Structure 1
Amino acid sequence: MTSLHFVVTTLFVATLYVSFCNLVFEPGSALHVSTYTVTLLGKYLCYALLALSVDLVWGYCGILSLGHGAFFALGGYAMGMYLMRQIGDRGVYGNPELPDFMVFLNWDSLPWYWAGSDSFIWMAVMVVLIPGLLAYVFGSMAFKSRVSGVYLSIMTQAMTYALLLAFFRNEMGFGGNNGLTDFKDILGFSLQSDTTRIVLFIITAVMLAIGYAISHYIVKSKMGRVVTAIRDSESRVRFVGYKPENYKVWIFVVSGVLAGIAGALYVPQVGIINPGEFSPLNSIEMVIWVAIGGRGTLYGAIIGALVVSYAKTRFTAIMPEAWLFALGGLFVLVTLFLPKGLAGLAPQLIAKFKRSDSAKAADTADTKSEVKS
């Protein structure tokens, strides 16, 4: 069984089990999975898709991006704009056209970039187009200028921080510091409904499986092998006759689109999107997910996102002030003792047992030869 089959099968079984236990068993039953847990798991799966996008550029192309929170947030804002338009006259001010924050700021009409935001299909296109376009423009300027290493990481961090400051401004028309929230429904279905929550969870799992299949196909293809070669030695790839910048832009765009889709799936389940999602600290945490899970394995990124997100939920509930110390300690321990991440733990143990068995077999053979002599 390949990693693709294993991941897709695991997602299918887990999604089926969670959905069945939520819909069939009553609250109070030992087998019941609460709607809160379903929403929490849906958020974790969004993070897993986001970690997958980071691993695609960092683990396989060697591009350490500290700005993937920008693509995630832009996809989330695109979905948030659609959900805000679905509120209609049910808002605090009862305006059927303008969101509440625009009425509060005395806006007379929607900005031009909100045109079409009441159409789900149009905003679904924007979820893919806007992060992809930003990734293409930024990647073209950076990679064709041969910016790499720590300088590229700083540039990606500066990009997301600039967007953070821009979206904080009320004049931008995205809700300022408060962002977009108070969503009511999606495609006519109430977001407070248990059934809607289950459907969103299932869609997220399906998109994660599709994202994993696409990423797996890319890294196993000829283009993926060139991308991996660029990670190992870009100068050699250039001397062979390839143009590494074109491949880097291509993989960066695919990664940005996956991150934008993750953000769009995140917003209706969490119920809010604000400029805090652009925070460079969030982008750094994404890199830590991949490092802890196992860089360059795809499934390791998923493992890291799920493990760290669950640990964050537990730690912030028990000792909120200790979470960053725990995250830093976990990162240091994994770096020292598991350089290939959690995904490399099983192969490492298997190799250790094989060496132990080989040593025992060698000792037994030496003993027998001594006895014979």
Structure 2
Amino acid sequence: MHAMLNPAQRGFWIGFMALGALFLLVIPGLNLLVPVESALHVPNYMVTLIGKYLCYAILAMAMNLVWGYCGVLSLGHGAFFALGGYAMGMYMMRAIGTRGSYGNAELPDFMVFLNWKELPWFWMGFDNFAFALLMVMVIPGVLAFVFGWLAFRSRINGVYLSIVTQAMTYALMLAFFRNEMGFGGNNGLTDFKDILGFDLSQSSTKLGLYWLTALLLGATFLVVRFIAASKLGRVMMAVRDAESRVRFLGYSVTGVKLFAFTVSAVLAGIAGALYVPQVGIINPSEFSPANSIEIAIWVAVGGRGTLLGPVLGAFAVNGAKTWLTGAAPELWLFALGALFIIVTLALPKGLVGLWADLRTRMAKENAHD
């Protein structure tokens, strides 16, 4: 096998397996096998926190597919993430049954509190996990397809498209804040008990969700790599770099953008569905345009148009956010804005580009020596 792989491919698979070993073996091992009093022990809350970062990494890779490889800057990807989260949250709310505060087997607690008499039609079927899983992908995918078809067919590009996508997620946020929409209003969906019968308060369930998220991040990584390396991926990058030339050559630019946008939305929905059972809540604040802007910052910091960059960016920015919001919460937004400016001006290729430049410089110095 080694003989069939070129150095770049060999490096990719070595790095892929090393990251897989870190997330699937090392971190769970430090949590399960190392004594609590040891400095090397990874506590349960840290496993959940890293699991949340893994969800963000999937979301960043989804954003990178449409922005990094296709050149479409969407500032509405938080909407697809939130819709996937709501679909999974609706399933877990239905699974509560009579264990809710009001003991109503049919209606979630917030509906009983608001004097709803029957379950809305759009909640039907969410007592079935397979149906909910399908909706996690279908709802963001259909919205992205319809929205993208209208936008790309009208040749809305650049900053105008970014503004329109931001308007979309803002409109959804305002709608989901309304109690009469039937999604819990400003409180959202919470107080989940279990998923597929597994108690969410148990550390074993949290670790299982962490493992599943890590596996799906790996799958997302391979899917994005496959698309980027295909003929379609090359056309996507050509659209990013010279859209008018691609259109002149007879390719359907609308079709290429629509494919990238729809697949990206489905991946974002899956990330949202993995996020909700680990965090324990989904509310309309996830639709906030600021969240979608943050996603773009993760990708920019890591290095857009690269495979590893979005993962690095998601972990780096959210790790900094976790630390800084605890140490000096009032400074976080200033730090985030400064980070974006610095990356845009000084590191246009992100952390991955910086590392590549350093390696090139070191290689040149060694060659001169």
Superposition TM-score tier, normalisation by shorter sequence: over 0.9
How far apart are residue 28 of structure 1 and its match? 1.7
Q: Which residue of 2 aligns with 1:105?
A: 114
Q: Which residue of 1 aligns with 2:23?
A: 14
Residue 262 (structure 2) pairs with residue 261 (structure 1): no
Q: Which residue of 2 aligns with 1:367?
A: none
Helix, strand or coil for the counterpart of 1:177? helix
* CA shift digits 1:213-258 (9 cap, x unpaired): 0000000000110111011111111111111100110111100000
Give distance in 1, aligned partners of 2:90 and 2:98: 15
Give distance in 2, aligned partners of 1:233 and 1:4: 31
Q: Which residue of 2 aligns with 1:50?
A: 59
How far apart are residue 97 of structure 1 and its match? 1.1
Q: Which residue of 2 aligns with 1:210?
A: 219
How far apart are residue 346 of structure 1 and its match? 1.7
Helix, strand or coil for the counterpart of 2:187? coil
Counterpart of 1:227 in structure 2: which amino acid?
A: M
Q: Is the 8 A contact 2:23 2:214 kept in 1?
A: no
Q: Which residue of 2 aligns with 1:93?
A: 102
TM, length-normalised to structure 1: 0.94
How far apart are residue 332 of structure 1 and its match? 2.2
Q: Is the 8 A contact 1:4 1:213 kept in 2?
A: no
Larger Rg: 1
* CA shift digits 1:171-228 (9 cap, x unpaired): 1100000000000101101001010011000000000000110000000000110111
Helix, strand or coil for the counterpart of 1:106? coil
Residue 298 (structure 2) pairs with residue 293 (structure 1): no
How far apart are residue 345 of structure 1 and its match? 1.7
Counterpart of 1:163 in structure 2: which amino acid?
A: L
Residue 150 (structure 2) pairs with residue 141 (structure 1): yes
Mean Cα displacement is larger for which, 105-114 or 3-12?
3-12
1:239 to 228, 231, 248: 248
Q: Which residue of 2 aligns with 1:70?
A: 79
Q: How many residues align?
A: 360
TM, length-normalised to structure 2: 0.95
How far apart are residue 23 of structure 1 and its match? 1.7
Q: Aligned pair in 2 of structure 1 residues 237, 322: CA closer, same or farther (>3 Å)?
A: same
Q: Is the 8 A contact 1:292 1:304 kept in 2?
A: yes
How far apart are residue 5 of structure 1 and its match? 4.9
Q: Is the 8 A contact 1:76 1:264 kept in 2?
A: yes
1:323 to 318, 332, 353: 332
Q: Is the 8 A contact 2:299 2:313 kept in 1?
A: yes
Residue 257 (structure 2) pairs with residue 248 (structure 1): yes
How far apart are residue 341 of structure 1 and its match? 0.4
* CA shift digits 1:132-184 (9 cap, x unpaired): 00010001000111111111101100000010000001111000000000001
Q: Which residue of 2 aligns with 1:271?
A: 280
* CA shift digits 1:22-41 (9 cap, x unpaired): 12233222232111000000
Mean Cα displacement is larger for which, 338-347 or 68-77?
338-347
Give distance in 1, aligned partners of 2:271 and 2:113: 30
1:226 to 235, 246, 250: 235
Q: Which residue of 1 aligns with 2:5?
A: none
Helix, strand or coil for the counterpart of 1:352? helix
Give distance in 2, aligned partners of 1:5 and 1:265: 27
Give distance in 2, aligned partners of 1:348 and 1:150: 29
Mean Cα displacement is larger for which, 10-19 or 306-315?
10-19
Give distance in 2, aligned partners of 1:128 and 1:14: 25
Give distance in 1, aligned partners of 2:241 and 2:53: 31
Give distance in 2, aligned partners of 1:3 and 1:148: 33
Q: Is the 8 A contact 2:303 2:310 kept in 1?
A: yes
Counterpart of 1:346 in structure 2: which amino acid?
A: W
Counterpart of 2:349 in structure 1: which amino acid?
A: K
2:141 to 128, 132, 136: 132
Counterpart of 2:305 in structure 1: which amino acid?
A: G
How far apart are residue 298 of structure 1 and its match? 2.1
Structure 1, unmatched stretches of 5+, are 362-373
2:354 to 316, 321, 345: 345
Q: CA RMSD in A?
A: 1.2
Residue 343 (structure 2) pairs with residue 334 (structure 1): yes
Counterpart of 2:142 in structure 1: which amino acid?
A: L
